[in-house]
Chain A
């Protein structure tokens, strides 16, 4: 049984159809990436999985349970965390408070403290700035914070929405390195990216979205070789 099973989902913003029958699966331990142009429905797919966008049709199953029975805030208690688009950090809260909020669903004080140390090891910059208000961080630091905050929930499935957006190239490298590290520690990742080159390098499998539909699904290695993908998303003529 796949960890996450999305079946034929349709979603709308008002009268505009954003998703036209998306189906995909994520197996335990994988990094799966959704690539596609702006407006292809990548973010909507993630928001639908986290129950922030209602479905008109279709089902989303997580470990066999239909997610429709859960409210958005209940997902994290079942092991699903998300790094939202545009980072979505709490700008007026301090770095430490943001991380506290990440661990909101947990009650194991010792485990939280342990994870905090581990995460400060992963992102030393956040440790230096833990008492700083998050809105004063640089773009890269905010991205680190958003990722770190999601990790504080100790998720089994991590949904990441454009973690590389707006970052300097050197930071992009380090974010993708982090993604691989997190995955190596046992977290399954569903990664939405515009930076298809990097995403396909770290992912095991990938889906290509166009105007709310999946047009290609394959292993990341095969997608990198695919002529259409090379032309449209990898900038290879």
Chain B
């Protein structure tokens, strides 16, 4: 008997305890919440829709992490800054003046289109520039080197935009047609949430088709598998990698516009937390996989939004919604422990290392 106890790995034991504790907390909290029933159904519905909207944003940003990881096996920690830079520039130079002059009220859709275009162009340009200047020279360096460089690039862009435009929060104007709520059947949702969800779905479908069907998309996938062989086919590897960064950054740019529509606040530090969360989402879904990034983003957004109220409210925690980041990162740790390859990921460790 003692012999058999000794054979149990301490780590396994710890993991089992960990798993059980989390499960008990979640189940207990959920049951308690349901019995207590603190919120009306309408609030739950709104929370779910908000979660999907938040998840859509994460999904769009996560695409950039997953694409770049797919071709370079590198975590591009500056990606959150690609998200910030576009919408920051468009807000200062376009949204602010257009709102002040009344143009945005007269032509809200056209105005938004301009803002989106400028945002995408700036985000893409910053991304391509960062790759060219900071990452390309280190392409064959040990993996830790580009990782540190990416963190450096992140700080660089944050402080660059802070220096350029100041560190105060800049308001993003309200786009009139998207103000207020809309009733869909029995539920009432924020119009901006609906816009975010629809736009994200369209962009993700568009991106998937681009990567699967176009010549550039196929070239990116070929480069992701084998750079030397891709070059033998006549694919310019450097250009394919630039395209990958551009693609990811344009998605992040769109996410920036959608973020601005919902939160209406622009700040030089705004890319940091969404960037880390989107990275979490990419890992959650299985980094390197595009559907994985989308699914991971949605999961994370939902858990963050619904989780605090559902799991923690019933446990009598005073401010459960302050703990949404705790839930998000607990999820990340859980996934890394029990399914390191993510929801849709493949086992890469041995194959690619």
Q: Give chain A's interface residues, CB within 8 Å of chain B.
A: 50, 52, 71-77, 81-82, 84, 88, 90-93, 97, 100-102, 104-105, 149, 153
Task: Find chain B residues with CB under 8 A from A153 CB.
Answer: 233-234
Answer yes or no: B215 CB below 8 A from chain A CBs: yes
Answer yes or no: B13 CB below 8 A from chain A CBs: no
> Nearest CB to that of A87 among chain B residues?
B229
A90-B221, A90-B222, A97-B218 given; A104·B229 CB < 8 A:
no
Task: Find chain A residues with CB under 8 A from B219 CB.
Answer: 101, 104
Answer yes or no: B8 CB below 8 A from chain A CBs: no
Q: Report the separation of the CA atoms of residues A77 and B215 in the bound assembly, to the nearest whole angstrom.
A: 17
Contact pick for B226, options A76, A88, A105, CB 8 Å: A88
Contact pick for B225, options A71, A81, A91, CB 8 Å: A91
Q: Report the separation of the CA atoms of residues A90 and B240 in the bound assembly, to the nearest whole angstrom.
A: 16
Q: Is the CB of B228 within 8 A of A93?
A: no
Contact pick for B235, options A50, A73, A93, CB 8 Å: A73
Interface of chain B residues 210 through 235 with chain A (CB within 8 A): 215, 218-219, 221-222, 225-226, 228-235
Q: Is the CB of A101 within 8 A of B228?
A: no
Q: Is the CB of A84 within 8 A of B228?
A: yes
Q: Is the CB of B225 within 8 A of A73?
A: no
Contact pick for B229, options A71, A88, A97, CB 8 Å: A88
Contact pick for B237, options A73, A75, A77, CB 8 Å: A73
A88-B226, A90-B225 given; A81·B232 CB < 8 A:
yes
A84-B229, A90-B229 given; A73·B221 CB < 8 A:
no
> Nearest CB to that of A106 among chain B residues?
B234
Q: Is the CB of A76 within 8 A of B225?
A: no
> Nearest CB to that of A98 among chain B residues?
B222
Residue interface bits B230-273, CB-to-A below 8 A is 1, else 0: 11111111000000000000000000000000000000000000
**Can you give 28 contacting A-B residue pairs, CB < 8 Å?**
A50-B232, A52-B232, A71-B231, A72-B232, A73-B230, A73-B232, A73-B233, A73-B234, A73-B237, A76-B232, A84-B232, A88-B226, A88-B228, A88-B232, A90-B226, A92-B225, A93-B221, A93-B222, A97-B221, A100-B215, A101-B218, A101-B230, A101-B233, A102-B233, A104-B215, A104-B219, A104-B235, A105-B233
Task: Find chain A residues with CB under 8 A from B218 CB.
Answer: 93, 97, 100-101
Task: Find chain B residues with CB under 8 A from A84 CB.
Answer: 228-229, 232
Chain B residues touching A, range: 10 to 19
Q: Report the separation of the CA atoms of residues A10 and B91 in the bound assembly, to the nearest whole angstrom.
A: 57
Task: Find chain A residues with CB under 8 A from B225 CB.
Answer: 90-93
Q: Point out which of B229, B231, B232, B234 has the most chain A C-beta atoms below 10 A from its C-beta.
A: B232
- Kindly list 10 other residue pairs between chains A and B, CB separation below 8 angstroms, not including A71-B236, A75-B232: A72-B228, A73-B231, A73-B235, A82-B232, A84-B232, A88-B232, A91-B225, A101-B230, A104-B215, A105-B234
Q: Report the separation of the CA atoms of residues A75 and B230 in the bound assembly, to the nearest whole angstrom.
A: 12
A52-B228, A90-B229, A104-B215 given; A73·B222 CB < 8 A:
no
Task: Find chain B residues with CB under 8 A from A100 CB.
Answer: 215, 218
> Nearest CB to that of A100 among chain B residues?
B218
Q: Is the CB of B231 within 8 A of A104?
A: no
Q: Report the separation of the CA atoms of residues A72 and B226 in the bound assembly, to the nearest whole angstrom.
A: 14
Q: Report the separation of the CA atoms of residues A88 and B229 in the bound assembly, to the nearest whole angstrom.
A: 7
A101-B235, A104-B235 given; A92·B229 CB < 8 A:
no
Q: Which 4 A-B pairs have the closest CB atoms?
A: A105-B234, A76-B234, A72-B231, A88-B229
> Nearest CB to that of B224 among chain A residues?
A92
Return B219 CB to nearest CB of chain A, in Å: 7
Q: Report the separation of the CA atoms of residues A228 and B230 in the bound assembly, to the nearest whole angstrom.
A: 39
Q: Report the separation of the CA atoms of residues A227 and B237 in the bound assembly, to the nearest whole angstrom.
A: 46
Task: Find chain B residues with CB under 8 A from A149 CB.
Answer: 233
Task: Find chain B residues with CB under 8 A from A93 CB.
Answer: 218, 221-222, 225
Q: Report the separation of the CA atoms of residues A74 and B237 in the bound assembly, to the nearest whole angstrom.
A: 11
> Nearest CB to that of A152 among chain B residues?
B233
Interface of chain B residues 304 through 342 with chain A (CB within 8 A): none
Task: Find chain B residues with CB under 8 A from A88 CB.
Answer: 226, 228-229, 232
> Nearest CB to that of A135 among chain B residues?
B225
Task: Find chain B residues with CB under 8 A from A105 CB.
Answer: 233-234
Q: Report the separation of the CA atoms of residues A102 and B234 in the bound assembly, to the nearest whole angstrom.
A: 8
Task: Find chain B residues with CB under 8 A from A74 CB.
Answer: 234
Task: Find chain A residues with CB under 8 A from B229 CB.
Answer: 84, 88, 90
> Nearest CB to that of B240 among chain A residues?
A73
Task: Find chain B residues with CB under 8 A from A76 CB.
Answer: 232-234
Interface of chain B residues 267 through 323 with chain A (CB within 8 A): none
Task: Find chain B residues with CB under 8 A from A82 CB.
Answer: 232
Q: Report the separation of the CA atoms of residues A97 and B236 in the bound assembly, to the nearest whole angstrom.
A: 17
Q: Report the separation of the CA atoms of residues A93 and B215 in the bound assembly, to the nearest whole angstrom.
A: 13
Q: Is the CB of B232 within 8 A of A92?
A: no
